[in-house]
Chains A and B, each alone.
Chain A
Amino acid sequence: NAGVTQTPKFQVLKTGQSMTLQCAQDMNHEYMSWYRQDPGMGLRLIHYSVGAGITDQGEVPNGYNVSRSTTEDFPLRLLSAAPSQTSVYFCASSSTRDASSYNSPLHFGNGTRLTVT
């Protein structure tokens, strides 16, 4: 079982460059989300989606765009990278539209470590 797959695992960008972090899940999960993890700050929600064509902002959405054209994929776009976006990014999915589903806690990908210089 592949589960939640994130690519790339590592990326270095220069300030101002753009890129897309890929996330794919093969579990037919409706709910998908992106978190960033920074030391001492836990995980903070960037954007989330409750199904194809539906996205919404999380706690720290500025500087990031998302789209959900299929159930399987939920890419995260950095429009113009800044050093403040240096972080580890996690994609997570759940089997229902609800992130707090009682029978399906979030399934996390292995993360993308992004450095912006």
Chain B
Amino acid sequence: ELKVEQNPLFLSMQEGKNYTIYCNYSTTSDRLYWYRQDPGKSLESLFVLLSNGAVKQEGRLMASLDTKARLSTLHITAAVHDLSATYFCAAPAYTGTASKLTFGTGTRLQVTL
């Protein structure tokens, strides 16, 4: 059974600082997804990482995937308050007919002034 673990679970950081969120998954997967959730809101897709070594960047966020290590990272550069949210990674578990996404427990990011 696929397990997806994120750390840290909670991250408080000052504006302007850099930090990395880690996402480990337990079984082989060729892709990884990152989502963002604002408090009381739905989830929105941030990145889709499709292969080993994939790197995607959007603004101050950069995500990467190492399928051999079963590890994805979400790097935050020079954090700003608008990045405060909960970030989820998700990996697919394949069945005979389709795949299902298994989510990590989420990392709640709080950016302070």
Q: Which residues of A come within 8 Å of B, CB atoms?
A: 31, 33, 35, 40-45, 48, 50, 54, 56, 58-59, 90, 92, 97-100, 102, 105-111
| 9 tightest Cβ-Cβ pairs between the two chains A and B | A100-B92, A105-B45, A42-B105, A43-B103, A108-B42, A100-B99, A42-B103, A108-B43, A50-B98
The reply to whether A99 and B105 form a contact with Cβ atoms under 8 Å apart is no
Instruction: From the candidates A40, A41, A98, A110, name the one contacting B98 in the complex (CB within 8 A).
Output: A98
Beta-carbon contacts of B63-98 to A below 8 Å, as 1s and 0s? 000000000000000000000000010101011011
Instruction: From the candidates B31, B42, B102, name the one contacting A109 in the complex (CB within 8 A).
Output: B42
The reply to whether B42 and A90 form a contact with Cβ atoms under 8 Å apart is yes
Taking CB atoms, residues of chain A closer than 8 Å to B35 are: 105
Taking CB atoms, residues of chain B closer than 8 Å to A44 are: 103
Q: Which residues of B come within 8 Å of A, CB atoms?
A: 4, 9, 31, 33, 35, 41-45, 48, 50, 88, 90, 92, 94-95, 97-106
The reply to whether B106 and A42 form a contact with Cβ atoms under 8 Å apart is yes
Number of A-B contacts (CB under 8 A): 69
Rounded to whole angstroms, the CA-CA distance of A102 and B56 in the bound complex is: 14
The reply to whether A40 and B44 form a contact with Cβ atoms under 8 Å apart is no
Identify 29 residue pairs between A and B in the complex whose beta-carbon atoms are under 8 Å apart, listed by A's number: A33-B100, A33-B101, A40-B105, A42-B4, A42-B104, A42-B105, A43-B43, A44-B103, A45-B100, A45-B102, A56-B95, A56-B97, A56-B98, A90-B42, A92-B43, A97-B97, A97-B98, A98-B92, A98-B99, A100-B31, A100-B101, A102-B31, A105-B35, A105-B45, A106-B43, A107-B45, A108-B42, A110-B42, A111-B42
